[in-house]
Amino acid sequence: MTVSGGWVPFWQYDVYCMESQFRARAESEFGLTFRPVRAPKGELDAVQVVVDSSPASWFEPDDLEKLITPIHGEAAEECAVCGVVRWMPVGMDVLPPPAPAVLALERPVVASPEWFGAGYQSFRQIVWRRDVAEFLLSVGPKDFRIQELRDR
C-alpha cells in the first residue's frame, strides 16, 4: 500500500502518521519520536508520532461537566471494568486551554490525560508547538489544520 504525506488514520483524533521520508527532519528539527506503522498486509513506509500525555490534568471535572452536558445531555461515562472516565466528544474550541504549566513543558506535542469520545472513537486532546503544527500542515494539508487555543 502506498502512502502519501501526513494523515490521521481512520479519524483516530490523537493518532498522527506521515511518510517515513519526513522522519529524519521531524526527529532532528522538532524532537518528535516515532513508531512504525503496520497494515494488515505488513509494514508501511510510514511512521506514527508518539504523543505522550502530560502528568497533570488539563481540565477541572466541574468545568467539563458544565461545558459538555448542554451539548450532549450528559458529560461523561465511566467504564464499569477499569473506572476510566471518558468525557463526551468535544474539541479544543469548546474547552478552556490547558494550564500554563502544561504549555510550558518543552515538548513538541503533548496530550491531555483526560479521554474524550465514545466507543472506538476515543481520543485525548492534543496541543502541538507552533513550528511542529506548521510542519504537519505542510506534509498533510488535507488532514491537518491549525486551531488556535482559546484565551483563558
The reply to whether 117 falls in a domain is: yes
Q: Using one digit for the tens of pLDDT, what is the confidence trace for 93-145?
A: 899 888 888 888 788 999 999 999 877 778 999 999 999 999 999 999 988 88
Q: Is residue 45 part of a domain?
A: yes
In the 3-class helix/strand/coil scheme, how is 98-143 assigned residue by residue? CCHHHHCCCCCEEEEEEEEEECCEEEEEEEECHHHHHHHHHHCCCC
Domain that holds residue 80: 6-139
Number of domains in the chain: 1
Asked if residue 147 is part of any domain, the answer here is no
Record the pTM: 0.86
Residue 1 domain-assigned?
no
User: What pLDDT does 122 receive?
Assistant: 85
